[in-house]
Amino acid sequence: GAVVSQHPSRVICKSGTSVKIECRSLDFQATTMFWYRQFPKKSLMLMATSNEGSKATYEQGVEKDKFLINHASLTLSTLTVTSAHPEDSSFYICSARVPDTTDTQYFGPGTRLTVL
Amino acid sequence: DQQVKQNSPSLSVQEGRISILNCDYTNSMFDYFLWYKKYPAEGPTFLISISSIKDKNEDGRFTVFLNKSAKHLSLHIVPSQPGDSAVYFCAASWSGSARQLTFGSGTQLTVLP
């Protein structure tokens, strides 16, 4: 299957700093990537849809100025959590859609963000 | 409004027996359904999918059944193995939503040795 990587796997930062998370499709080109957030014992919550070469589409309630998404190439999307606060601590997961007729999404391994 | 529902938060099955995980949906526009397996602190792993034009898809030990009239799908794992213990999410999408996935809340499967 298609491989999606995420970096870093975990990050601890101080409140007020910004953190960048990278999502890469390793063996295919992804025009569309998705960013999710998972709270403990909850399902995945879609934050935004990242489209290569254009602005991301954010879900209702997600602050676009806080969660900056850049999809500069067909294999890389980045999520930057700006001015992070403890309530931003969570598990962030990206996925990339394989552009075939089935449009299956393949997920990265996730990034555990802890804001002190 | 939860468009994809997994009503059983947990399921325990003996090794070697069949595991049946259920999922219901309300949006009749959904035309593509997927099952993912997830371990703690990892991203979901794609297992199997089914298009709405089919009612069954099989891949090794995994079979997904789709009943469109009942808006219900199920994942059968046979024989179940201890390594199958994980949280299983069903997800659905349709072309009008830019193929965004709507996830169920997940079912924790425990396969007992």
CB of A1 less than 8 A from some CB of B:
yes
Secondary structure of chain A: what % helix, strand, coil (to 5)?
5, 55, 45
Predicted confidence pLDDT, tens digits, chain B (113 residues): 689 999 999 999 999 999 999 999 999 999 999 999 999 888 999 999 999 999 999 999 999 999 999 999 999 999 999 999 999 999 999 877 777 899 999 999 999 99
- Rounded CA separation B53/A102 (Å): 12
Which of A49, A91, A93 comes nearest B100 by C-beta?
A: A49
Specify the 3-state DSSP secondary structure of B97.
helix
Banded model confidence at residue A102, pLDDT cuts 50, 70, 90: low
| Helix boundaries (H) for A4-94 | none
- Rounded CA separation A63/B71 (Å): 34
CB of A114 less than 8 A from some CB of B:
no
pLDDT at A40: 78
- Going by C-alpha positions, the residue among B36, B87, B101, B34 that lies closest to residue A34 is B101
∠ CA(B57), CA(B107), CA(A63), 5° rounding?
A: 100
pLDDT in tens, A7-38: 999 999 999 999 999 999 998 888 889 999 99
> Which residues in chain A touch residue B99, judged by CB atoms under 8 angstroms apart?
32, 97, 103, 105
Instruction: Name residue A50's beta-bridge partners.
Output: A33
pLDDT in tens, A56-92: 999 999 999 999 999 989 999 999 999 999 999 999 9
Half-sphere exposure of B45 (CA within 13 A, CB side): 11
| Helix boundaries (H) for A1-116 | none
- Going by C-alpha positions, the residue among A81, A1, A73 that lies closest to residue A35 is A81
Select the more confidently predicted residue: A86 or A40: A86
The answer to whether B46 contacts A91, with C-beta atoms less than 8 Å apart, is: no
Banded model confidence at residue A100, pLDDT cuts 50, 70, 90: confident
Give kind and range of the element (H or E) at residue B67: strand B62-67
Instruction: Return the number of CB contacts < 8 Å for A and B.
Output: 53
Banded model confidence at residue A41, pLDDT cuts 50, 70, 90: confident
pLDDT at A101: 59
- Rounded CA separation A11/A33 (Å): 21
CB of A5 less than 8 A from some CB of B:
no
pLDDT at B33: 95
pLDDT at B108: 96
- Rounded CA separation A24/A39 (Å): 23
**Is A43 a residue whose pLDDT tops 90?**
no
Phi and psi angles of residue B29, each rounded to the nearest 5 degrees, phi first: -80, -20
Burial class (CB in 10 A: 0-12, 13-18, 19+), A16: exposed
pLDDT at A8: 97
The answer to whether B106 contacts A102, with C-beta atoms less than 8 Å apart, is: no
